[in-house]
C-alpha cells in the first residue's frame, strides 16, 4: 500500500509543537463544524509535553474545548498519579488548564488489563456509535526503535484485529494498554511529533527506507492524512 505521508521540517522542538497546534486548531474547527464534536487521542512520552504546554498557553481562547473528547493512544500500567502515566502528563500540562469536559482515561493501573481493553473498547464503540471509531486526530511519537503508541517491533499486536490490546514488552518495565494499527490507521489526521537526534535513524528507516519492520512504517491511514512534523535534529539523516 503506497503511503501518502506529508512531512513538515522544523528548526527546533518548539516549532514542532507550534506546527502541531496549528494543525489541531484547523482539524478541531472542521470536526466541530461537520459533527459537533472533536475527538483526539493523545500519546505519551516527552515530545507531546511541548505541544500540551503550547496549547494551554497560546491557544486557550482559540479552541472550542467544550466540544473536545480526549482519549489516549496508550497507557502504562501505573497509577494516574505516577510520573510515567500518559494521563498525568496530559492532565498536568493541558487538561488542568483548559475547559475540556470529556476525557476518557485508560485505567491501566488495574490488575486485569484485558478487562480494561474490553471496557475501553466498549467506551469507544459507544462514544463513536460505531465498531470502527474514526478519530479526528491521533497524536503519535516514534521511539528510537520505531515503536508507536505501545506497539513495539516484532510484536504480535501488529497483526491484531482488535481496537486495543495489552502490550507486554521485556524491554519496558510496565505492561501497557495500546491502540492497535486498526484503530490508529482509521484516523482522519495522524500527527507524528518527532524531535531529537536519537530519532534520526528511525526516521530514515521509515521515511526513506520504508522499513516495514518498524511499527511506525505501518502507519498509513488510507482514510486520512499522515503528517510527520520533524525537527532538524531528527531529520538530520534524511536531509
Ligand atoms: C508512550 C508513548 C510512546 C512515545 C514514544 C516517543 O507511551 O511511551 O506513547 O509511543 O510516543 O516513545 O516518546 P518521546 O516523545 O518521549 O520521544
CATH number assigned to the domain comprising residue 162 = 3.40.50.1360
The predicted-structure confidence for 162-193, as pLDDT tens digits, reads as follows 999 999 866 667 899 999 999 999 999 999 99
State how many domains the chain has.
Answer: 1
Sheet of 68-72: strands edge to edge?
5-10, 225-231, 189-194, 137-140, 38-42, 68-72, 102-103
CA 72: distance to chain centroid? 7
The predicted-structure confidence for 100-159, as pLDDT tens digits, reads as follows 999 999 999 999 999 999 999 999 999 999 999 999 999 999 999 999 999 999 999 999
Residue at 235 is within a domain: no
Residue at 96 is within a domain: yes
Residue at 216 is within a domain: no
Mutate to test the pocket of ligand 1, among 78, 143, 165, 176 (most ligand atoms within 8 A of CB): 143
In ligand 1, the atom with minimum distance to the C-alpha of 176 is: 7
| pLDDT, average across residues 200-208 | 97
Residue at 60 is within a domain: yes
Residue at 197 is within a domain: no
Q: Which domain holds residue 142?
A: 13-174
Only one residue has cell 486557550, namely 60
Rg (CA), the chain: 16
Amino acid at each position: 500500500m503506497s503511503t501518502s505521508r506529508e512531512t513538515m521540517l522544523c528548526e527546533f522542538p518548539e516549532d514542532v509543537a507550534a506546527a502541531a497546534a496549528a494543525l489541531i486548531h484547523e482539524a478541531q474547527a472542521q470536526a466541530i463544524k461537520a459533527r459537533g464534536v472533536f475527538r483526539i487521542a493523545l500519546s505519551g512520552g516527552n515530545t507531546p509535553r511541548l505541544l500540551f504546554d503550547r496549547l494551554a498557553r497560546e491557544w486557550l481562547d482559540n479552541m472550542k474545548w467544550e466540544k473536545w473528547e480526549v482519549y489516549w493512544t496508550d497507557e502504562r500500567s501505573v497509577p494516574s498519579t505516577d510520573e510515567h502515566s500518559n494521563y498525568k502528563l496530559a492532565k498536568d500540562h493541558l487538561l488542568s488548564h483548559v475547559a475540556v469536559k470529556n476525557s476518557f482515561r485508560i485505567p491501566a493501573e488495574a490488575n486485569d488489563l484485558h478487562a480494561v481493553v474490553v471496557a475501553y473498547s466498549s467506551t469507544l464503540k459507544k462514544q463513536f456509535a460505531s465498531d470502527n471509531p474514526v478519530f479526528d486526530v491521533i497524536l503519535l511519537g516514534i521511539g528510537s526503535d520505531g515503536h508507536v503508541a505501545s506497539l513495539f517491533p516484532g510484536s504480535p499486536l501488529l497483526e491484531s484485529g482488535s481496537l486495543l490490546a495489552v502490550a507486554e514488552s521485556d524491554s519496558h518495565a510496565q505492561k501497557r494498554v495500546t491502540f492497535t494499527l486498526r484503530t490508529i490507521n482509521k484516523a482522519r489526521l495522524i500527527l507524528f511529533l518527532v524531535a531529537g537526534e536519537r530519532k534520526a535513524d528511525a526516521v530514515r528507516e521509515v521515511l526513506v527506507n520504508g522499513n516495514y519492520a518498524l511499527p511506525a512504517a505501518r502507519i498509513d491511514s488510507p482514510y486520512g492524512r499522515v503528517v510527520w512534523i520533524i525537527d532538524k535534529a531528527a531529520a538530520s539523516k534524511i536531509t
